[in-house]
Amino acid sequence: MINYKVPLRDIRFLIEDVFDFETHYQALPGTEEASPDVVEAIIIEAAKFSEDVLSPLYQSGDSGCTFKDGDVTTPEGFKEAYQQFIDAGWQGLSGPAEFGGQGLPSSLGIIKSELIGTANWPWAMYPGLSLGAMNTINLHGSEAQKKTYLGPLTEGTWAGTMCLTESQCGTDLGQVKTMATPNGDGSYSLSGSKIFISSGEHDLTENIIHIVLARTPDAPAGTRGISLFIVPKVGVNPDGTLADRNAVHCGSIEEKMGIHGSSTCLLNFDNAVGYLLGPLHQGLQCMFTFMNTARLGTAIQGVAAAELSYQGALPYARERRSMRALSGPRDTDKSADPLIVHGDVRRMLLTQKVIAEGGRAMLYHSAMLSDNMFAAQAKNDEDAIQLYEDRLGFMTPILKAFLTELGYEAANHGVQIYGGHGFIKEWGMEQIVRDTQIAKLYEGTTGIQALDLLGRKVLLGKLKSFNDFRSLVDQFIKSHSNKREMKPYISQLKIYMRAWRFKTWRLAYGAKRNRDLVGTASYDYLMYSGYIVMAFFWARMADAAFSKLAVGSNNEFYRAKVQSADFYFNRILPRAGAHGHMMTKNPESLMQMPEQNFSFH
């Protein structure tokens, strides 16, 4: 059994030494309460809840949810843990104060989500989906809708879902068929079915607020005709009390590869009463608020998988004995040496470690961007909103796809380190692999995120957000070029940044002549970009560690940071070279084969 321990020292290193959250929070309006003492207390309490309450439920929750007569029962202990969660006010940590939240920065909520998600990802999906519903209603809802729904969502007594996918369409939402017919009183009757709805039905809350994409009878075809609706599981009276059950029901739950403790539902809307959320026919634009919240949440799963698998593998590698070290016996009084002395086991452990810690740094940087974006929205500063939306938009597909791909790799390394025991359920390592596979799929597959990055964010954006991020890295390179200890990292960053710029321009020009190039290059472009972005953050962490070492602070921790950065730059970053080589190849080898030649006989 894996006993998750929150990596408090690593979290403090990032928020204090690398990113200076204290100064960041001082610059945000309305976050005076986020003092270092308060931040520390919140992280400590979130750690206790994650370690003591959620982690013990992770493996037992793999037994899954049960479905009977339209009702879903979550695994034993989930409901009690959720009650503790809402009693402590965790759901409203970053929620608006006017609706019962604590009004703390979004980044603190992301740190909290990382801790509970690493401890028990299937459980964490229930409150995680609610956060997306809260953000969407808060940004696009009417004042009456905010008053009706945000209070109970913020306190956690109601939950939220995102209802997009239908049997005939996943990513291509222009094919949505769910119909919303006006009732003449400002409400709509929604009819249709949605599949793969996470947390669509459960026993944790008294109400579930479904955020649903549908089209009205007179809507234009395609994505231009989609609108967004609030559809409560139970109706809400004008005074906020619950009314009658709405006509939305769970038809079944999916039998899945993993995340068994999270209910994944088929929802049937049979003239269910719903309410327009945001402008008519602009539902997809409004739903992007929810989707981007969910994509950042999914990026957490990549970090969580790497961290949890590393924490499971490291003790085993220290305790399990097999063969002798190639350089000679280490423990001569024992029959064999521990696994950790072997070079290939160290390769896997260090890969897990640098993925978890590098991914956490990328996530916390983006969390700060999220803070700035919410601050700009509060001030209605359109220029600032656009700036931070662009910056966060550039990072989001990289976070979602790159980190989940690497998190899945890290989880597999955990199984490898255990050998045959890793394939056995009692150790918990194979569950991490099964649970993490979905992270590469939901909220847009890796391929879809890659197309979003290269096609929309870079090429259609005329390289604006790419150049903005490149400028950030170039400033770091310039300011650290004269630091002797940083030269190994800075020299490589210079090379990769020049190559990234050249290859991006090359793809931009090539795509004008051959549109297929975008599709054939996008996956490799995303992975190439991800490795370079993570290298930048490992360089920042190395710089912070060198600064602490210079004044004699906690030497072993900071030495380990530098050694981890060395491993990343020497053993992981070179992977980018292969992706960079492949992405600039002519699409012909991928596109020339006729469909009939894709034969299996």
DSSP notation for 548-560? HHHTT-SHHHHHH
- CB-based contact 195:177 (threshold 8 Å): no
Per the document, the length of the chain is: 601
Is pLDDT at 233 greater than 90 in this prediction? yes
Please report which confidence band the pLDDT of residue 339 belongs to, taking 50, 70 and 90 as the band edges. Answer: very high
Nearest partner of 357 among 124, 545, 534, 108, judged by Cα: 534
Q: Provide, rounded to the nearest whole percent, the portion of the chain with pLDDT above 70.
A: 100
What CA–CA distance (Å, rounded) separates 2 from 118? 11
Q: What is the pLDDT of residue 48?
A: 98
Q: What is the pLDDT of residue 288?
A: 85
Averaged over 113-141, what is the pLDDT? 96
Q: What is the pLDDT of residue 378?
A: 87
Structural domains in the chain plus CATH codes: 290-443 (1.20.140.10), 450-591 (no CATH)
Q: What is the pLDDT of residue 174?
A: 81
Strand-pairing partners, residue 249, are 268
- CB-based contact 47:8 (threshold 8 Å): yes
Tokens matching residue 40: 């520390």
Averaged over 239-254, what is the pLDDT? 97
Nearest 5 degrees, angle CA 387-CA 285-CA 389? 15
Q: Could you confirm whether 443 is annotated as catalytic?
A: yes
- What DSSP state is assigned to residue 85? H
Compute how many other C-beta atoms are within 10 angstroms of the C-beta atom of residue 80: 11
CA atoms lying within 13 Å on the CB side of residue 65: 32
Q: What is the pLDDT of residue 317?
A: 97
Is pLDDT at 601 greater than 80 in this prediction? no
Q: Furthest-apart CA pair in the chain: how many Å?
A: 84
Strand-pairing partners, residue 213, are 228
What CA–CA distance (Å, rounded) separates 97 from 33? 12
Averaged over 201-213, what is the pLDDT? 98
Q: What is the pLDDT of residue 599?
A: 85
Please report which confidence band the pLDDT of residue 212 belongs to, taking 50, 70 and 90 as the band edges. Answer: very high
Distance of CA 99 to the CA centre of its chain: 26
Q: What is the pLDDT of residue 100?
A: 95
What CA–CA distance (Å, rounded) separates 365 from 372? 11
Distance of CA 394 to the CA centre of its chain: 14
pLDDT for 435-450, tens place per residue?
999 999 998 999 999 9
pLDDT for 287-331, tens place per residue?
888 888 888 899 999 999 999 999 999 999 999 998 897 888 888
Q: What is the pLDDT of residue 361?
A: 98
Q: At 533, give phi and psi (nearest 5°).
A: -60, -45
Q: What is the pLDDT of residue 326?
A: 85
What CA–CA distance (Å, rounded) separates 310 from 415? 10
pLDDT for 542-559, tens place per residue?
999 999 999 987 789 999
> Which of the following is catalytic: 114, 166, 409, 443?
443
Give me the long-range contacts of 92-99 (CB less than 8 A, separation at least 24): 92/154, 92/155, 92/156, 93/42, 95/134, 95/150, 95/154, 96/138, 96/150, 96/154, 99/138, 99/146, 99/150, 99/151, 99/154
Q: What is the pLDDT of residue 232?
A: 98
Q: What is the pLDDT of residue 340?
A: 96
Q: What is the pLDDT of residue 331?
A: 84
How would DSSP label each residue in 148-216?
HHHHHHHHTSEEEEEE--BTTBSS-GGG---EEEE-SSSEEEEEEEEEEEETSS-SSSSEEEEEEEEE-
Q: What is the pLDDT of residue 455?
A: 96
Strand-pairing partners, residue 166, are 169
Averaged over 180-196, what is the pLDDT? 97
Q: What is the pLDDT of residue 290?
A: 86
Is pLDDT at 1 greater than 80 in this prediction? no
Q: Collapse the DSSP code of 561 into the 3-class scheme (helix H, G, I; strand E, B; otherwise coil) and give the result.
A: helix
Q: What is the pLDDT of residue 138?
A: 94
Averaged over 115-139, what is the pLDDT? 96
Give the ranges where 16-104 is alpha helix by DSSP (H).
21-26, 36-49, 57-60, 78-87
| Beta strands per DSSP E along 395-485 | none
pLDDT for 522-537, tens place per residue?
999 999 999 999 999 9
Please report which confidence band the pLDDT of residue 451 belongs to, taking 50, 70 and 90 as the band edges. Answer: very high
Q: What is the pLDDT of residue 328?
A: 83
Tokens matching residue 238: 């004008």
Pairing of strands 158-163, 207-215: parallel
Compute how many other C-beta atoms are within 10 angstroms of the C-beta atom of residue 382: 10
- Measure Cα distances from 131 to 153, 461, 580 in Å: 8, 28, 37
Q: What is the pLDDT of residue 295?
A: 87
Averaged over 474-491, what is the pLDDT? 97
pLDDT for 357-405, tens place per residue?
999 999 999 999 999 999 998 889 999 999 999 999 999 999 999 999 9
Q: Provide, rounded to the nearest whole percent, the portion of the chain with pLDDT above 90.
A: 89
Distance of CA 463 to the CA centre of its chain: 24
Nearest partner of 208 among 257, 180, 248, 177, judged by Cα: 248
pLDDT for 142-163, tens place per residue?
999 999 999 999 999 999 999 9
Is pLDDT at 498 greater than 90 in this prediction? yes
Give the ranges where 50-142 is alpha helix by DSSP (H).
57-60, 78-87, 106-119, 121-140
Averaged over 244-257, what is the pLDDT? 97
- CB-based contact 64:75 (threshold 8 Å): yes
CA atoms lying within 13 Å on the CB side of residue 490: 15
Is pLDDT at 234 greater than 90 in this prediction? yes
Report the sign of the C-alpha dihedral through residues 229, 230, 234, 235, in that order. Answer: negative
Tokens matching residue 172: 């291509």
Compute how many other C-beta atoms are within 10 angstroms of the C-beta atom of residue 208: 27
Q: What is the pLDDT of residue 170?
A: 76
Report the sign of the C-alpha dihedral through residues 442, 446, 448, 449, in that order. Answer: positive
Please report which confidence band the pLDDT of residue 217 belongs to, taking 50, 70 and 90 as the band edges. Answer: very high
